[in-house]
Amino acid sequence: MNNVPSLVDEAGARFPDRTAVTIGGRPLTFGELPGLARGGARVLRAGGGRHVVYLALAGPVFPLALVAAAYAGLPFTSVNYRLAPDQIAELVGRLEDPVVIADAEFAPMVKAVAVQTLETDAFAERAHEQRRRGLATGAGMTGPEDLPPVEPGAPAVVLYTSGTTAVPKAVMLRQGTLHAYLSRMMELLPADAGATSIVSVPPYHITGVMAVLGGLCVGRRMVFLRTFTPDGWLELVRAEAVTSGTLVPTMVARIVRHLDGRPADVPTLRAMAYGGSRMPRSVLEKALRAFPTTDFLNGYGLTETSSGITILRPEEHRPGAGAPAWIWSVCTRTAR
């Protein structure tokens, strides 16, 4: 079946012993993830809602909530927690019978418009409980046939994007669309057994959604930086031996400003992807000097296209390494 659950099942079969994420101090392997996601799906369907909303900072419960919604056959929306409370409530209220998974500080904002509100830690615990029940009854990873089939044409992710209008509009991505995009990503960006990515892009952005889904599909361990700071990002990269990450240009600018000409000293970091807005040439030049052994990739795309549709490759970033002069103007121009 061309849907997100089939890709997660496949990753579980291919990388059963690799750690996917650590939730509440407990490492979760790719082999365990499908069963836990099905447990989370049962929690979500028991809530009586028709749409799953994630209102929380980046964290390891985010991928669990995202794939649990997919197994449940329910559309998933991550909402910008930086908006004013009345704006958050208005956006959530647009969705049909929303079940909300929220950090504790955001949960009160949506109780009036949600069918049910679950705090992130409580949702993870209830998913674990449902998985344990399935194992105890001999259902194993797949569980009893109490979850509906997920058709390729079913809505998978709905994100609010302001685009150039500054008025948030809903963009829907279907199960089959994400399956096609992620299948191609698996071919182009495979991950070895030691691959670890740092997720610091907000979960309400398409880049954050696809960074998580891409990591899950190729068997890449993920660590999360809940609130971005340059020193926090660098410290986590060193502490977790991170091999890749995705940033927006403003984050790159803050990192190079923090380094102030010093090398980053992150020997494990093999690749850094960036996109989402214009990259100033001066920032990119400083970043290339600060990360001399890191491959840089620039992605361009839209929420409507499931994120990236074209990239600038690592060899097109290093002057003197075969990159034609026009690459620099493309790399740093303002998208129109």
Q: What confidence score (pLDDT) does residue 315 get? A: 85
Q: Which H/E stretch holds residue 100? A: strand 98-102
pLDDT, tens digit (0-9, with 9 covering 90-100), for 163-198:
656 778 899 999 999 999 898 877 767 788 889 999
* pLDDT tens per residue across span 306-336: 777 777 888 888 765 444 444 444 444 443 3
Which residues neighbour 329 within 8 Å (Cβ) at sequence distance 6 or greater?
none
| Whole-prediction pTM | 0.89
Check whether 263 has a pLDDT greater than 50.
yes
Enumerate domains of the chain plus CATH numbers. 4-175 (3.40.50.980), 177-332 (3.40.50.12780)
pLDDT recorded at residue 127: 97
Give the gyration radius of the chain's Cα atoms.
Answer: 20
How high does pLDDT run on average in the chain?
A: 89
Distances (CA, A) of 74 to 145, 157, 184, 227, 296: 16, 9, 24, 28, 36
Of the given ranges (92-106, 235-249, 316-330), which has the lowest mean pLDDT? 316-330
Question: Does residue 280 register a pLDDT over 50?
Answer: yes
CA 307/CA 300 separation, integer angstroms: 7
Q: What is the pLDDT of residues 34-72, one digit of tens each?
A: 999 999 999 999 989 999 999 999 999 999 999 999 999
Give the bridge partners for 260, in sequence order.
none
Q: How confident is the model at residue 112 (pLDDT cuts 50, 70, 90)?
A: very high
